Chains A and B, each alone.
Chain A
Amino acid sequence: MDLLDKESKPEINYTTATFKSTRVMNGHSIEKMPAGQLDFRISHRFGRINSGAYELFGLDQANIHFGLEYGIFNWLMVGIGRGTYEKTYDGFTKFTILRQSTGAKVMPVSVSFFSSVAINSLKWSDPERTNYFSSRLSYVNQVLVARKFNQSFSFQIMPSYVHRNLVETELDPNDLWAIGAGGRIKLSKRISFNAEYYYVATSTTYQGQQVYDPLSIGFDIETGGHVFQLIFTNSVAMIEKGFIGETTGSWGKGDIHFGFNISRVFTLK
């Protein structure tokens, strides 16, 4: 046995599957698509549960986000998407900085960097004034720091920065700073419980309405090539710019949206 130990080189064991999906709930996790794999995502957020039985507790209205996301390398993924919410087009890149590992090299956490641009394509509220294309843009940068503590528990924190080129009044901040925390608890081989919360340090209003911190809870259900996520959230937007800065629903008042993310992966090479 001693001989064997001497001969085998020390190996680095990289931690895998910190999260099951590239999203914790609304926001991104440190996970990326492996090289050559294309992820087609369809996400829905229905209306507010407290809108009553006439609206079938929000199910009568649906907000959709489509996304095509691709792993260029194992450490780099890109994606584009389009959401119903404010008719927004979005694009992002996400890349690995550090990988959690044990063995020959010990690294306690995985770190990824996420950066995105969103383009609001709504018609101008006043088409007669001089409107600038730049006014449609907003940007998000996030550092994602995650640790898989054991087989059933992973935790992630996300310091985040959101910049909006155009806001409504001089009092509204163009820059938003937020810190998110999310986690995953495995319930069975195929199901896990996930939760995600963002604390938005720059409290603000959006279009005259009070903005709340987004809180989402839900389940990941893994079924072969699909990961199915069921979500309860107070946010209707499915991209960072929207749920960090523009969540006008409050859990306390029952402004909760049911929703889901479906992810289908295609191997392209």
Chain B
Amino acid sequence: MKHLKVLFALIIIILPFCRSCYYDSEEALYPSTTSTCDTTNVTFSGKISPMLANNCLSCHSNAMAGSYGNGIRLEDYADVKARATAVQGSIKQTGSYVPMPKNGGKLKTCLIDQFDIWVRIGMPNN
């Protein structure tokens, strides 16, 4: 029993050292997606919706908006279209709208640019 306990303790101590360390960077791993910003193929389903899902829907989904997102929904195309100007102001954090995402982070320039482009080409639902 004593030996078992010691063995167990050793396993717990050694576990954190048995790791696979990688020295990766997004720039090197995914050269095509990070070095250039895709500004030609901006679609709602391909670019805008995933960006919103990754960065906004934790509070602004249809289910969460009431309790966490001040009632602002950004899940469906029609809702996003109606709020596009406010979203632009919030993610650019220029002052006239409440800066988003909360906690001081800012979206990557590419994502902000793509949202701008999508608004400029008339907010297609594609």
Q: A residues touching B (Cβ–Cβ < 8 Å)?
A: 47-48, 61, 63, 72-73, 76, 78, 92-93, 95, 115-117, 122-127, 129, 132, 134-135, 137, 139, 141, 163, 165-170, 172, 174, 207-209, 236, 248-249, 255
Contacts and interface: CB of A to CB of B under 8 A. Distances in A.
A76 B6 CA distance: 11
B83 interface: no
Contacts of B54: 122-125
Interface string B73-97: 0000000000000000000000000
A61 B24 contact: no
Given A76-B9, A76-B13, A115-B17, A169 B24 contact: no
B120 interface: no
Contacts of A174: 22-25
A73 B82 CA distance: 59
Interface residues on B, range: 20 to 34
Given A47-B102, A236-B103, A249-B104, A76 B12 contact: yes
A61 B13 contact: no
Contact of B104 (A137, A167, A255): A255
B25 A93 contact: no
A146 B109 CA distance: 44
Contacts of B29: 135, 166
Contacts of B28: 170
Contacts of B105: 207, 209, 248
A129 B54 CA distance: 15
Given A72-B8, A124-B54, A174-B25, 10 more contacts: A76-B9, A78-B12, A93-B13, A95-B13, A126-B50, A135-B22, A135-B29, A141-B16, A167-B26, A255-B104
Contact of B16 (A72, A117, A167): A117
26 contacts: A47-B102, A48-B104, A61-B102, A72-B9, A72-B12, A73-B9, A92-B16, A93-B13, A115-B16, A129-B33, A132-B24, A139-B16, A139-B21, A163-B21, A165-B22, A165-B24, A166-B25, A166-B26, A168-B25, A168-B34, A169-B25, A174-B23, A174-B24, A208-B106, A248-B104, A249-B104
A209 B34 CA distance: 17
B116 to A, nearest CB: 17
Contacts of A92: 16
A197 to B, nearest CB: 20
A209 B19 CA distance: 29
A155 B17 CA distance: 28
A93 B15 contact: yes
A93 B12 contact: yes
Nearest to B59: A61
Interface string B1-20: 00000001100110111011
B33 A165 contact: no
Contacts of B53: 123
